[in-house]
């Protein structure tokens, strides 16, 4: 029985990888810091096996084998955006927030950089963070009314060519909007607007905006501009039956589905969100400038307080 002087057992998930020495060192440091604080580190079974040569995993709990998702306080993710997307996949449907420590390149989803690891862990242990809800996409694919896939995405769902260009018809709310040949189509969230959609020429959308984006990839069409809709819309991409080759559906670059000619992909807002733990109060514009190294010094320091 817990008394007023006792605190319920704390369990914090660590998601990392062993592909880089920096990630191994950061994981060892994080595990040690949690254990010193009396908090139980939790690993997914695959990560636990991967880190067995590097630390004493007998002192690490295993997710879904003794510790359930609803028992987790927070997840500390050590890596780049790909590792954060993997954590979001592991925690799908749970209330566990994710705090990312960037060990990759851009690391747009990450909250802190690797040199902030000690202070990040300290603030997580003090529960000194806020939680931001990010909308996700519910994605379905079908052929002749038969389901091919039911999946989801945090960043984007992309319909891409396999070998030859795709002939597609795009639609909004069940009505066709246009058809053209292209290398593919990206349907993205505001979170994903700085990822694949950005590379394809789409706009950057602030995370608080409730919207979905549809961005063509190398379209052979006069009307090839990105579309932005509300989250109550249903967006569709149909691979026209006359296509010579098939296409492929990728969700967050992690979940793949083959799409034969005639297949239809429909995307809508998911009722499930991803919860990101935020330690910084800096506005999104500052994150944008920092991550993309944007040249702003010429006008921010113009004698008007450093702001536009």
Nearest-angstrom CA–CA distance, 50 and 53: 7
DSSP states of 80-94 as a string? SHHHHHHHHHHTTTS
Contact indicator for 152, 251 with CB cutoff of 8 Å: yes
33 is in an annotated binding site: no
Q: Establish whether 196 is an annotated binding residue.
A: yes
Task: Determine if residue 258 is labeled as part of a ligand binding site.
Answer: no
- Is 86 known to sit in a ligand binding site? yes
Residue 197 marked ligand-binding = yes
Is 194 annotated to bind a ligand? Reply is: yes
Q: Say whether 195 counts as a known binding-site residue.
A: yes
Q: Is 173 a catalytic residue?
A: no
Residue 42's nearest CA partner among 73, 13, 76 is 13
Distance between CA atoms of residues 186 and 202, nearest Å: 9
Q: Is 218 annotated as a binding residue?
A: yes
Query: Is 199 one of the annotated binding-site residues?
Result: yes
Residue 94 annotated as lining a ligand binding site: no
Q: Is 183 annotated as a binding residue?
A: yes
The sheet with strand 175-182 has its strands ordered as 146-153, 137-143, 264-269, 235-239, 166-172, 175-182
The active-site residue, picked from 56, 64, 81, 122, is 81
- Compute φ and ψ for 89, nearest 5 degrees: -65, -45
**What CA–CA distance (Å, rounded) separates 212 from 224?**
17
Neighbour count for residue 84 (Cβ, 10 Å): 29
Q: Residues marked as binding? A: 81-82, 86, 155-156, 183, 194-199, 218
Q: Residues marked as binding for NAD(+)? A: 81-82, 86, 155-156, 183, 194-199, 218
Residues classed as catalytic: 81
């Amino acid at each position: 029985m817990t008394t007023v002087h006792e605190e319920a057992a704390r369990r914090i998930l660590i998601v990392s990888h062993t592909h880089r020495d920096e990630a191994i060192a950061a994981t060892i440091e994080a595990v040690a810091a949690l254990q010193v604080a009396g908090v139980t580190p939790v690993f997914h079974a695959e990560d636990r096996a991967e880190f067995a040569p590097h630390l004493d995993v007998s002192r690490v709990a295993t997710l879904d084998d003794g510790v359930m998702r609803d028992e987790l306080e927070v997840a500390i993710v050590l890596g780049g955006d790909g590792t954060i997307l993997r954590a979001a996949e592991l925690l799908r449907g749970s209330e566990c927030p994710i705090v990312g420590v960037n060990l990759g390149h851009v690391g747009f989803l990450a909250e802190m950089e690797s040199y902030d690891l000690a202070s990040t862990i300290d603030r997580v242990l003090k529960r000194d963070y806020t939680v931001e809800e990010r909308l996700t996409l519910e994605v379905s694919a079908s052929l002749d009314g038969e389901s091919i896939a039911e999946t989801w995405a945090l960043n984007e769902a992309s319909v891409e060519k396999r070998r030859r260009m795709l002939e597609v018809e795009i639609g909004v709310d069940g009505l066709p909007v246009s058809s053209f040949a292209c290398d593919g189509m990206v349907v993205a969230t505001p979170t994903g607007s700085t990822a694949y959609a950005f590379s394809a020429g789409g706009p950057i959308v602030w995370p608080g905006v409730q919207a979905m984006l549809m961005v063509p990839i190398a379209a052979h069409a006069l009307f090839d501009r990105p579309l932005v809709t509300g989250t109550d819309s249903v967006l569709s991409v149909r691979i026209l039956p006359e296509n010579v080759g098939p296409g492929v559906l990728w969700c967050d670059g992690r979940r793949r589905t083959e799409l034969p000619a005639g297949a239809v992909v429909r995307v809508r807002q998911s009722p499930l969100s991803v919860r990101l733990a935020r330690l910084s109060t800096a506005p999104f514009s500052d994150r944008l400038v920092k991550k993309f190294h944007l040249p702003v010094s010429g006008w921010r320091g113009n004698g008007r307080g450093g702001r536009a």
